[in-house]
Amino acid sequence: MSGDSCIFCQIVAGEAEASLVAENDLCLAFLTIGPFNTGHTLVVPRRHAATFTDLTPEEASALIQLSQRVAQALQQSELPCEGLNLWMANGKAAFQDVFHAHMHVFPRLKDDGFKVEVSWPQPSRAELNGVAAQLRAALEQSA
């Protein structure tokens, strides 16, 4: 999905409405229409890229830098902000619903009701070492 069918591409092109927060050469930050808390901002690359791993290193860097600027602005603003979450979902299994890479930057409040409940497994050191070896091998192949 890209161009005409992607709402984020339409926003970047100025063809769909958005409440702009900030921008840099490679990315745009705007308020989401479905905020978890007031100030909930999305940071997207200007170029259509479905997921984080589809970004160029320069785009990934620009996305993180703009996300940090938005986070700092939330902390310095008069908006309620006791903490922050950065959230990026990549792929259907990770609950991505708009397939244009985007980082959620949203303020948190102590009792705002947001929960992530997981049961973290505790693999053995041998299992961890095996996984680390597989990742190192994949990194060497992609270098």
Please list the active-site residues: 102
- Residues forming beta bridges with residue 106, ordered by sequence position: 85
> Would you give the DSSP letter of residue 110?
T
Task: Give the tokens for residue 104.
Answer: 């959620």
The Cα-based distances of 8 to 62, 76, 117, 127 in angstroms read 17, 27, 29, 40
Share in percent of the chain as helix, strand, coil (round to 5): 35, 15, 45
Q: What SS3 state is found at 134?
A: helix
Is residue 70 within a helix (H) or strand (E), and if so which, with residue range?
helix 57-76
Amino acid at residue number 18: A
Query: How far apart, in Å, are the Cα atoms of 107 and each of 23, 66, 135?
Result: 19, 15, 33
